[in-house]
């Protein structure tokens, strides 16, 4: 490791630690002074969480503060570039602002689902207009349509995963870790996204201190909507469009590395949508049929479920390192193997959500001592 690289590592580590401590302090202040933000009436059916206790949903505000602070800090810590003035970065700022604002409005006022969907769609359009869109099809309309599907899908996936303590934080940490690894592995140190990713990562890890079971606060829609559009944009820039490929990368490789990075939200959303549509239910109405719940129905505690997700996130990072460092010459066999891994997890969670729920209710009552209505 040369002197320059060592200096970059020291700057990034120091920046992470400073923002981590700052995030802990901000969350502690929010927890003290914001007692009701994001707390809904349990009888109105507007929100369904695994736990029965209402807690303030203020963690997401810290994410956005650290995001903006990282943007402002870039020119101080690194050599200034024109990246901050480019349309792509402006589009990222605007789309993340839209996600944050609609999330904050939803936590404070319980906005209509159609309005939330409209802002999610708008976030996708902003990214496309700024040049951030998936470029895997030969026809641009298909790229635009798939980008909108991706952005709206990831925003809703991250939002739906926020149903049990620590889960969305762990999933976010895994995706950001994959992205930072790609930037560091290609020595792209003067990249403004790097500092922003470190800033958001520090805030999410600090939030996990308050969101680990038994949690003291939730991130709310403020956090999940912001993280959703931010992670979707990072997925487009660093995975779907692989900026480090010297030649046009194989579509199968792009698909697999993106799938491994976002496997947890994709799995959860796929299973929830299939299960609810098969029962004639709307996939947009809350319920306790997520992958997290299926693990709890098998007898795992809330902390154990979070640890399983942490292990799966670590496995995804390991597989992506394998793809990048070892499987440099791609072929269809690798595509089949990684697709098989995804299908194996999909089958497992699908089976548990479909067949284990009724059999496990009695065991769940004994473990968590919850009411029959909560387990329904």
Residues 122-180 have pLDDT tens digits of 999 999 999 999 999 999 999 999 999 999 999 999 999 998 999 999 999 999 999 99
CA 22 to chain centre: 22
Kindly report the pTM of this predicted structure. 0.89
Query: What is the distance between the alpha carbons of residues 352 and 356, in angstroms, rounded to a whole number?
Result: 5
Q: What is the largest CA-CA distance in the chain?
A: 61
Joined tokens for residue 346: 């999909």
Per-residue pLDDT, 84:
58
Confidence band of 43 (pLDDT split at 50, 70, 90) = very low
What is each CA distance from 215 to 59, 168, 212, in whole angstroms?
11, 13, 5
Q: What are the helix and strand counts (H, E) for the chain?
A: 15, 0
Query: What is the distance between the alpha carbons of residues 67 and 201, in angstroms, rounded to a whole number?
Result: 9
Phi and psi angles of residue 57, each rounded to the nearest 5 degrees, phi first? -105, 80
Of 218-232, 266-280, 355-369, the one with minimum mean pLDDT is 355-369
Asked if 59 and 215 touch (Cβ cutoff 8 Å), the reply is no
Question: How many beta carbons lie within 10 A of that of residue 269, not counting itself?
Answer: 22
What is each CA distance from 94 to 81, 112, 158, in whole angstroms?
20, 22, 19
Question: How many beta carbons lie within 10 A of that of residue 251, not counting itself?
Answer: 12
């Amino acid at each position: 490791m040369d002197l320059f690289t060592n200096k970059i590592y020291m700057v990034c580590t120091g920046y992470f630690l400073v923002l981590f401590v700052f995030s802990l302090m901000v969350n502690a202040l929010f927890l003290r002074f914001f007692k009701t933000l994001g707390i809904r009436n349990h009888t109105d059916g507007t929100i369904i969480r695994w736990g029965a206790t209402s807690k303030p949903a203020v963690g997401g505000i810290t994410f956005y503060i650290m995001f903006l602070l990282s943007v402002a800090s870039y020119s101080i810590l690194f050599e200034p570039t024109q990246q901050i003035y480019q349309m792509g970065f402006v589009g990222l700022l605007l789309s993340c602002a839209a996600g944050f604002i609609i999330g904050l409005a939803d936590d404070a006022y319980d906005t209509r689902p159609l309005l939330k969907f409209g802002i999610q769609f708008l976030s996708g359009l902003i990214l496309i207009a700024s040049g951030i869109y998936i470029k895997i099809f030969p026809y641009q309309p298909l790229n635009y349509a798939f980008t909108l599907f991706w952005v709206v899908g990831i925003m809703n996936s991250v939002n739906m995963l926020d149903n049990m303590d620590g889960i969305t934080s762990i999933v976010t940490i895994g995706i950001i870790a994959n992205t930072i690894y790609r930037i560091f592995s290609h020595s792209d140190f003067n990249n403004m996204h790097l500092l922003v990713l470190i800033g958001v990562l520090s805030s999410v890890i600090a939030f996990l201190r308050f969101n680990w079971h038994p949690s003291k606060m939730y991130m709310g829609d403020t956090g999940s909507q912001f993280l959703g559009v931010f992670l979707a944009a990072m997925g487009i820039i660093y995975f779907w469009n692989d900026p480090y490929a010297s030649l046009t990368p194989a579509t199968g490789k792009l698909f697999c590395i993106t799938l491994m990075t976002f496997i947890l939200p994709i799995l959860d959303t796929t299973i929830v949508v299939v299960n609810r549509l098969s029962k004639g239910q709307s996939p947009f109405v809350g319920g306790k049929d997520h992958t997290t719940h299926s693990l709890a129905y098998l007898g795992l505690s809330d902390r154990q479920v979070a640890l399983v997700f942490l292990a799966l996130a670590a496995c995804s990072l390991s597989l992506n390192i394998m793809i990048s460092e070892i499987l440099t010459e791609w072929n269809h066999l690798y595509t089949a193997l990684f697709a098989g891994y995804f299908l194996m997890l999909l089958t497992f969670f699908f089976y548990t959500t479909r067949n284990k729920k009724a059999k496990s209710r009695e065991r769940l009552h004994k473990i968590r001592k919850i009411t029959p209505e909560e387990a329904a």
